[in-house]
Amino acid sequence: MIKVGIVGGTGYTGVELLRLLAQHPNVQLQAITSRSEAGMPVAQMFPSLRGRVDLAFSEPSLDVLSACDVVFFATPHGVAMKQAPELLANGVKVIDLGADFRLTDLPTFEKWYGMPHSCPDILAEAVYGLPEVNRDAIRKARIVGNPGCYPTAVQLGFLPLLRAGLIDPAHLIADAKSGVSGAGRKAEVSSLFAEAGESFKAYGVNGHRHLPEISQGLTGMTTDKIGLTFVPHLLPMIRGIHTTLYGRLTRDPGNLQALFESTYANEPFVDVMPAGSTPETRSVKGANTCRIAVYRPQGGDTVVVLSVIDNLVKGAAGQAIQNMNLMCGLPETAGLTQIALLP
């Protein structure tokens, strides 16, 4: 059994990790840390885990975490990079669900996250954890930067088109929408029911922290410079991300449906839907799945891709476990075969 620890187990991503790991056939939960809730039984905070998780929250002690085989950081940026060096030195594999190990360029990280990186040598070693792109490197990795939610949906949607050289990389548009759980569990006025309910708005139009991460990933899919307009929106729902992606064709694309189906034919967690489909966020609720549909409206020069994920699963905890499975030599789908919850 793989001994697993979670740093920062009190947020939505933390409880989602617990939900999925408690059902994993090869995992033993060893530690869930929280300075503010140390000593409280996990099931007291999250009754959904009663009878499945018997641990109590503990202080994030190096000794406790070093007894694990894998440690997940479900923490804000700036936390994992302070603790990762000692854990790696003790032979522990690290998966960071925050942003500390996603961006490879130090000045870019410092610009968007407002702090210097404390372990650039480890950042240089870290592997970006999008399995559909970096599967072989993830298998060999000691430390993985788990992708953000928006970047996962956007990159998987654009990947077939960019790799085939069918669209202009300098003119890409990602129109993205997320449920309120994407903002985390902290108390914020903008997340209050009376503020977010029955309303719809864009945010981060001039620049969102996921923009450089998406651009970095898309750059690796083409030899040309990426020009991306990324506009996120807040939806009055709890879970789910829906992205509508636009690319300008540079040549006759042939059969776009066949291109997407062949690209993802062997991917266990990407579902290319039949031509004419419109994937819904509720079709992936609670599942580690990205559902995609591709269109060429009126046979014109624009390709439209629809990509949906659950921001807490394929956009966070589920993908992190997918990475753990690869890093530990387990079947990639282990513990991740849940069917989406409907309605």
Give the pLDDT of residue 188: 78
Torsions phi, psi for 174 (to 5 deg): -125, 110
How distant is the alpha carbon of residue 230 from its chain centre?
17
The total number of residues shown for the chain amounts to: 343
Please give the structure tokens belonging to residue 80: 């994992």
The CA distance from 199 to 165, in Å, is 38
Mean pLDDT in consecutive groups of 10 residues from the start of the chain, 343 residues: 95 95 97 92 96 94 95 95 97 97 96 95 97 98 98 98 98 97 79 86 95 97 96 95 98 97 98 98 98 98 98 98 98 97 90
Give the pLDDT of residue 176: 98
129, 217 Cβ separation under 8 angstroms:
no
In the chain, the domains with their CATH numbers are: 2-125 (3.40.50.720), 150-311 (3.30.360.10)
Give the pLDDT of residue 84: 97
Residues carrying an active site annotation:
149
